[in-house]
């Protein structure tokens, strides 16, 4: 029902039309400086391609909110990269969200739930902390791109996510755009990229990807799940990924 209501900050079709010709950085600048102010947050996994949006944000407003979900199951390399990249870019408002310890004790006391029930594991490790983090932010930004997987082939720049507006500034970027941006701004790569991980999530549920596979083929490999539950469409959970 909430999907049908006009958002207080405007209709997503109007926003999409107003920013149709803007580059990703200009789009972000407009949304942060002219539309949402401090009420829009970037949700970043500090994964393989996250440096692009993090760099743009650092150039526009270094104290813009950045939400990082530390699921308790991330690679050690991701945690180190988050620290290193945040310092390098001078990010001043990185908010680290973690699962509720009570949920972890109740649902995953042996820390092996990812082997038997990924839906519940993702729900208390990702979905609940994100929903908590987004209180107070009517809009959020993701790093998703249409080339990452077939399930994202028609990704728009603006979406409604229940009461939130979700913005995908890089929706129509190609891998070449990302590579060029990383190179021209001398951004450090996530250390696992060189080891065959073009998409990086939790260590329990991420494998390297072979040549020719979707970038996200290594996420929940061999399972029906392709999204972690932080992305919704039409008010329903898309059982298909995260940023
Ligand atoms: S990606 Fe795997 S380990 Fe991470 S929260 Fe989801 S099921 Fe759990």
Reading the block at residue 116, the tokens are 């038997």
- Domain range for 124 is 2-237
Residue 212: band (very low, low, confident or very high) from pLDDT cuts 50, 70, 90: confident
**pLDDT of 159-193, one tens digit each?**
998 889 999 999 999 999 999 999 999 999 999 99
Helical segments of the chain, H only = 12-18, 24-30, 51-60, 76-89, 101-107, 118-122, 128-133, 175-184
pTM of the model: 0.90
Contact in structure between 148 and 216 (CB atoms under 8 Å): yes
Rounded Cα distance between 166 and 232, Å, is: 10
Look up residue 65 and give its DSSP letter. -
Residue 73 near ligand 1, beta carbon < 6 Å: yes
Q: Is pLDDT above 60 for 242?
A: no
- The mean pLDDT of 128-134, rounded to a whole number, is 96
For the chain, percent of residues with pLDDT exceeding 70:
89
> Which CATH number goes with the domain that contains 104?
3.40.50.620
In terms of DSSP bridges, do strands 158-161 and 94-97 run parallel, antiparallel, or are they unpaired?
unpaired
Please check whether residue 65 lies inside any domain of the structure.
yes
Distance of CA 68 to the CA centre of its chain: 9
Domain assignment present for residue 182? The answer is: yes
Mean pLDDT lowest among 71-75, 124-128, 205-209, 220-224:
220-224
Q: Is residue 243 part of a domain?
A: no
Q: Is 28 contained in some domain?
A: yes
Number of folded domains in the chain? 1
230 lines ligand 1 (CB under 6 A): no
The residue to mutate among 202, 218, 223, having the most atoms of ligand 1 within 8 angstroms of its beta carbon, is 202
Question: What size, in residues, is the chain?
Answer: 243
């Amino acid at each position: 029902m909430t999907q049908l209501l006009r958002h207080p900050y405007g209709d997503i079709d109007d926003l999409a039309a107003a920013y149709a010709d803007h580059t990703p950085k200009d789009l972000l600048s407009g949304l942060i400086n002219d539309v949402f102010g401090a009420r829009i947050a970037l949700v970043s996994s500090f994964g393989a391609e996250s440096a692009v949006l993090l760099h743009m944000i650092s150039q526009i407003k270094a104290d813009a909110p950045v939400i990082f979900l530390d699921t308790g199951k991330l690679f050690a390399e991701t945690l180190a990269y988050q620290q290193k990249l945040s310092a390098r870019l001078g990010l001043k408002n990185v908010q680290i969200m973690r699962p509720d310890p009570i949920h972890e004790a109740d649902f995953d006391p042996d820390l092996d739930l990812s082997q038997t029930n990924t839906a519940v594991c993702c729900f208390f490790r990702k979905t609940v902390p994100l929903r908590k983090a987004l209180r107070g932010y009517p809009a959020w930004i993701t790093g998703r791109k249409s080339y990452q997987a077939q399930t994202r082939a028609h990704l728009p720049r603006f979406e409604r996510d229940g009461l939130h507006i979700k913005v995908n500034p890089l929706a129509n970027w190609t891998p070449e755009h990302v590579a060029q941006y990383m190179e021209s701004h001398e951004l450090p790569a996530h250390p696992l990229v060189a080891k065959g991980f073009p998409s990086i999530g939790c260590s329990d549920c991420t494998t390297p990807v072979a040549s020719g596979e979707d970038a996200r083929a290594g996420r929940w490999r061999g399972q029906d799940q392709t999204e972690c539950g932080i992305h919704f469409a039409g008010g329903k959970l898309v059982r298909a990924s995260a940023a």
